[in-house]
Structure 1
Amino acid sequence: MSTVAARLGVSPERLWGLSVVAILVALVGGSLAFPRVVYDGFIWHYFWGPVQADANSAVCAIRPDGVTQYLDSAAACAAAAEPVAYPGYTLVSEIGYMVTLIVALTGVVFLLRRLDIGDEPRFFFALIPFMFFGGAFRVIEDVNDASAAADTLITYPVNTLVISPVIYVTVFVITLVAVVASVTAERNGLVDDYVKPLFAAGVGVLALSLLYLLWAGVSGINGATFYPQVLVVILVGSTVAAAITWVLVERFAPEVNLGTGLIGLVIIWGHAVDGVANVIGLDWMTAIGAGPNLVAKHPVNQAVVDFTAATLPAGVLAITGDAWPFLLVKLVAATLVVWVFDDRIFEDSPRYAILLLIAVLAVGLGPGTRDMLRATFGV
């Protein structure tokens, strides 16, 4: 972007802002000029419709004649005319969110540059509680959805703020407010280091979320329960998996982690949490006495499960389950990403490198925390 901005004679920040405005104008203008094609067929179908369906606990949402309707029957959804939006993600939406993430990260880099922070590993570690908070916050909505409409704690449309992917925006805004407030406190002499109140803010919002979930589980609010063995098994399993991966990397390919150091281990562990949470949740809940097995929420997870089920004999699947390759995929992918972040990347753009590593950890630890706690509290 810097090279393009130099050729155009504008600053990178201004070019980024103009690009975002141009994209928004195209989407809004297209929605107004061609509502059925641009809004109904693309924006609503792949992005907003799934959120609406999830927020209203519907099997799917449809949009005949530009009016959203919710269906509670899988057969009715299958027979409905497109666009039909189901709760969860699609390959189109995941690609869209990936592009949005890259654009957003670039904007955050410009903000951190203005604030003159975010180029040291301690900024990465200070934000870890917010990643746990994002997953825990999403489980609050799972508890909310488990109740009858009249008894819900958070009703539509407010509950869309805690449903994926909108919850990422919600958590981002909360985190951004904490970052700006912490930096302001440091520069006004209220604290000696902005990292301390930033970390404390993350721990605070995480603690509030966990206390509510624990209260709901112990009290049986909206059918929630509490299976502490799930939490123990997932945390121990992910720690063991990350430790084994780390030892293998350090012994056979130490160059993989020369650039990231301890951050690399944290990233591998965060994605191990996601992998083990899926393995336990999808295959072994009944085996550890923690209620029925869960259902895969993401297309990639489901694709791995489907591939394993179609490839391995039934006798083997009865012993191993069909979700275990997802853990291997997560560990390998996390290790490869860590390998990409060598010393040169940190020398060229330390803020962007740190921010990308934060995003890499968040997309593993956030969903992993959600799956872990959802299984732990039986919702």
Structure 2
Amino acid sequence: MATVAERVGADPERLWGGSVAAILAILVGGWLAFPELVYDRFIWHYFWGPVQADANSAVCAVRTNGVTQYLDSAQACAAAPEPVAYPGYTLVSEVGYMVTLLVALSGLVFLLRRLDIGTERRFFYALLPFMFFGGALRVVEDANDTPGATDALISYPWNTLVISPIIYFTVFGITLAAVLASVTADRAGLVDGYEKPLFGIGTGVLALTLGYFVSLVVTGAPGVEFYPQVLVATLVGATLSAGATWWLIERFAPQINAGTGFIGFVIIWGHAVDGVANVIGLDWMPALNAGRNLVPKHPVNQFVVDVTSNVLPASVLAVTGDTWPFLIIKLAAATFVVWVFEEGIFEESPRYSILLLVAVLAVGLGPGTRDMLRATFGV
């Protein structure tokens, strides 16, 4: 089947660039011509307003006559005239971010093609530290909500850079800069291959972020603790559950990982980290002598908790907790994704396949790292 670019006789990259430019022109033109309708009631209401409300620790944000106000009462928010923005996502914003992700991935494929990189599996592994970094950076905002911990270091509007969804653009920008720097160093003959410096840069920014958390503990920042047993339990639990899943695949259904190879194990392990971190953080913190259980910050986690608590009797929940099904769901979903990526997909579109696998791992390991570090540092 002919692609859109082939049917209209246009270069794919130019078609992509023209489409993005046209969308931006429509948004900017609409903003200038009808600021209240386009900006206040659409862009601000669904995209920027929720970030502002979150960054200012407000129950909601209200925009009236071009001025934004932050309210700390649910009753006041309910009585306020629209547009009213609450921290978090809406259906409109989720669709918008999904479209943005797909457009960005397409553009990234063109960029990697221009750079002539991204077809090797080692590119996947070189990006691994950045996935840990994204989750760790998100915990900076969690710590920022702890009274007195980081108020002097990061405040509004700079804290918006580490709040969802802006943090995805922040991490993407840092990662892209690292890729360009590594490729430039390789082409200049300063290094032998771009993968090692790329991995090194990712490890460096991750170490800086973790070092920041250590400094909070050392300086006795209010509301920040250190529970190394949580970190060990999460990593050991994730490795054991991912290893058991991988053994079952190799033993009974080796065709599942025929296409991905060891990348498949990494993906399953990354999602296992997310599952185990939730089980420990939401159910087993007191059992590990690590303070109180945390509160779910993801709608899916809360949904699993609600369903499990309504289905299982209290006597069973007292022993098992109500979060463990989330780990099963994560392992099953990751296994399904690994099975989908058969060898033919890599042969037809290696760059897009690698990028999709990076995205699949990121949506598991990123939140998993965040939940693991939240529990480890009690924030």
Superposition pairs for residues 264-275 of structure 1, below 5 Å?
Answer: 264-275=264-275
Which residue of the partner structure matches residue 327 of structure 2? 327
Structure 1 distance, partners of 2:167, 2:352, is 23
Partner deviation per Cα, 1:242-266 (whole Å, 9 max, x = no partner):
1111112222221111100010100
Matches within 5 A, 1:64-213: 64-148=64-148, 151-213=151-213
Alignment of 1:273-284 (within 5 A): 273-284=273-284
Do the aligned residues in 2 keep the contact of 1:143 with 1:222 (CA within 8 Å)? no
Shift of 1:150: 9.2
* Residue type of the alignment partner of 1:239: T
1:70-121 per-residue CA deviation (whole Å, 9 max, x = no partner) reads 1223343344444433323344433332221111111101000000000011
TM-score (norm 2): 0.94
Q: Output the amino acid matched with 2:71.
A: L
Residues 25-60 of structure 1: CA distance to partner in whole angstroms, max 9, x if unpaired? 333334444444443333323322221111112222
Task: Provide the rounded CA distance (Å) in 1 between the counterparts of 2:150 and 2:271.
Answer: 37
Equivalents in 1 of 2:337, 2:371: separation in Å?
A: 23
CA distance in 2, matches of 1:176, 1:22: 24
Q: In 1, Cα distance between the equivalents of 2:78 and 2:286?
A: 31
TM (norm. structure 1) is 0.94
What amino acid is aligned across from residue 358 of structure 1 in structure 2?
Answer: V
Q: Provide the C-alpha distance between the structure 2 equivalents of 1:225 and 1:193, rounded to a whole number of angstroms.
A: 41
2: distance between equivalents of 1:358 and 1:275? 18
Residue number in structure 2 paired with 1:294: 294
CA shift in 2, pair 1:206/1:247, >3 Å: same
Residue 143 of structure 2 contacts residue 149 of structure 2 at CA under 8 Å; is this kept in 1? no
3-state SS in 1 of match to 2:287? coil
Given that 1:56 and 1:156 are in contact with CA atoms closer than 8 Å, whether structure 2 keeps it comes out as yes
CA contact (8 A) 1:61 1:68 kept: yes
Q: Residue 38 and residue 336 in structure 1: after superposition, are their counterparts in 2 closer, same or farther (change >3 A)?
A: farther
Are residue 240 (structure 1) and residue 211 (structure 2) matched?
no
- Residues 298-325 of structure 1: CA distance to partner in whole angstroms, max 9, x if unpaired? 2222222222222222332222222222
Match of 1:376 in 2: 376
Aligned-CA RMSD value: 2.0
Give the secondary-structure state (helix, strand or coil) at the position aligned to 2:378. Answer: coil
The answer to whether residue 23 in structure 2 is matched with residue 23 in structure 1 is yes
Moved more, 31-40 or 300-309: 31-40
Change in CA separation of 1:93 and 1:289 when aligned onto 2, cut-off 3 Å: farther
Kindly indicate whether residue 354 of structure 2 is the aligned counterpart of residue 354 of structure 1: yes
Is contact 1:89–1:298 with CA below 8 Å preserved after alignment? no
Query: How many equivalent pairs are there?
Result: 379
Deviates more, 1:336-345 or 1:287-296: 287-296
2:183 is matched by which residue type in structure 1? V
Ranges in structure 1 where 5+ consecutive residues have no aligned partner: none
